[in-house]
């Protein structure tokens, strides 16, 4: 919120009517709606996620019946969105993050008034409102407002595996080329940023448990998806029983999917 107030101060030379009021924290970012990545084989990836206890919720198909996207459920408000490989092939792995917001139109108006140019708000194929902007390195950052009657809403209470390794996507660890530029990008969006051990940790006023960490990129660096668990040892045993090659390092459990995307399960105290 302080960052937004500063942005308003910087914009004081503009006509007052042109600067929208900052939205309430609960109208802005309130969590992660989904992370999205492209995989070699959709069925194989869905099977992998199934071993973590996550179930396919729904899919989006094209005009000829081909599967365009698959949504795997973490909980009723968080999903993993999978895209198939294309011809000609596109890069595998991370595609984008989508943040859930409380009032997308209000947030869009404010961002626009301070010079952040998002795509126009529209209704997506899932029935939710959506908009997007590129970060300094060209990665897509989406914003979505859940709507009644959407595919998400219609699936509420369903496809919630009883043996999910974790019931929450806490955040992600992202390698970046220019930490200062990415920090400014996120703080302009209203996130709170703190530097720890050379990395940048981000959260949002209305999502205090959100954990995004930006770290310096190197040639083999890749994003890691972060999930909280109550007991790392038990989580490791559960994954190994499911046939996964889980590796535990103290309170961290690492699992790689078939395309080498990294899932990290972090032991945290209850009631954190």
- Between strands 29-39 and 93-101, the pairing is antiparallel
Tell me: the pLDDT tens digits for 117-151? Answer: 999 999 999 999 999 999 999 999 999 999 999 99
Dist CA 38 CA 139 (whole Å): 14
Q: Is the peptide bond before 88 cis (omega within 30 degrees of 0)?
A: yes
Express as a percent the part of the chain with pLDDT over 90. 82
Confidence check: pLDDT of 78 > 90: yes
pLDDT value at residue 1: 44
pLDDT value at residue 3: 47
pLDDT value at residue 18: 60
Beta carbons within 10 angstroms of residue 80's beta carbon: 24
Confidence check: pLDDT of 8 > 70: no
pLDDT value at residue 272: 59
pLDDT value at residue 19: 63
- Taking the whole predicted model, whether its pTM rises above 0.85 is answered as yes
> Stretch 227-245: mean pLDDT, rounded?
97
In terms of Cβ atoms closer than 10 Å to its own Cβ (0-12, 13-18, 19+), residue 77 is: middle
pLDDT value at residue 10: 39
Confidence check: pLDDT of 5 > 60: no
Tell me: the pLDDT tens digits for 197-208? Answer: 889 999 999 999
Dist CA 36 CA 14 (whole Å): 37
Does residue 167 contact residue 75 with C-beta atoms inside 8 Å? yes
- Between strands 207-216 and 252-256, the pairing is unpaired
Short-list 66, 102, 61, 96, CA closest to 81:
96
pLDDT value at residue 7: 43
pLDDT confidence bin for 269, thresholds 50/70/90 = confident
Confidence check: pLDDT of 224 > 60: yes
**Residue 223 φ then ψ, to 5°:** -65, 155
Tell me: the pLDDT tens digits for 162-182? Answer: 999 999 999 999 999 999 999
Length of the chain equals 272
Tell me: the pLDDT tens digits for 186-199? Answer: 999 999 999 888 89
DSSP for the chain, please give it.
-HHHHHHHHHGGGS-GGGSPPPPPGGGSEEEEEEEEEEES-HHHHHHHHHHTT-EEEEEEE-TTS-EEEEEEEEETTEEEEEEE--SS----EEEEEEEEES-HHHHHHHHHHTT--PPPPEE-TTSSEEEEEE-TTS-EEEEEE--TTSHHHHTTT-S--TT-S-S---EEEEEES-HHHHHHHHHHTT-EEEEETTEEEEEETTEEEEEEEEEE--TT---EEEEEES-HHHHHHHHHHTT---EEETTEEEEE-TT--EEEEEE--TT-
Tell me: the pLDDT tens digits for 32-67? Answer: 999 999 999 999 999 999 999 999 999 999 888 889
Domains and CATH numbers, the chain: 2-154 (3.10.180.10), 171-267 (3.10.180.10)
């Amino acid at each position: 919120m302080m960052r937004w107030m500063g942005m308003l101060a910087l914009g004081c030379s503009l006509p007052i009517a042109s600067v929208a009021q900052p939205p309430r924290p609960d109208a802005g970012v309130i969590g992660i709606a989904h992370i999205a990545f492209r995989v070699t084989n959709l069925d194989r990836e869905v099977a992998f996620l199934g071993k973590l206890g996550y179930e396919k919720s729904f899919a989006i198909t094209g005009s000829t019946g081909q599967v365009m996207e698959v949504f795997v459920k973490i909980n009723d408000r968080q999903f993993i969105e999978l895209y198939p490989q294309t011809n000609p092939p596109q890069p595998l792995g991370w595609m984008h993050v989508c943040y859930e917001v409380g009032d997308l139109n209000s947030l869009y108006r404010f961002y626009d008034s301070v010079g952040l140019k998002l795509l126009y708000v529209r209704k997506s194929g899932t029935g939710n409102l959506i908009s997007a902007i590129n970060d300094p390195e060209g990665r897509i950052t989406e914003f979505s407002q859940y709507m009644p009657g959407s595919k998400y809403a219609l699936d509420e209470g369903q496809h919630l595996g009883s043996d999910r390794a974790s019931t929450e996507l806490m955040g992600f660890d992202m390698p970046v080329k220019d930490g200062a530029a990415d920090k400014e990008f996120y703080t302009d969006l209203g996130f709170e940023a703190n530097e720890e051990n050379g990395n940048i940790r981000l959260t949002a006023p209305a999502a205090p448990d959100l954990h995004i960490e930006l770290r310096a990129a190197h040639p083999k660096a890749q994003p890691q998806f972060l999930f909280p668990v109550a007991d790392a040892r038990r989580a490791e045993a559960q994954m190994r029983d499911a046939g996964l090659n889980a590796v535990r390092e103290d309170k961290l459990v690492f699992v790689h999917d078939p395309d080498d995307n990294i899932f990290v399960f972090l032991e945290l105290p209850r009631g954190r």
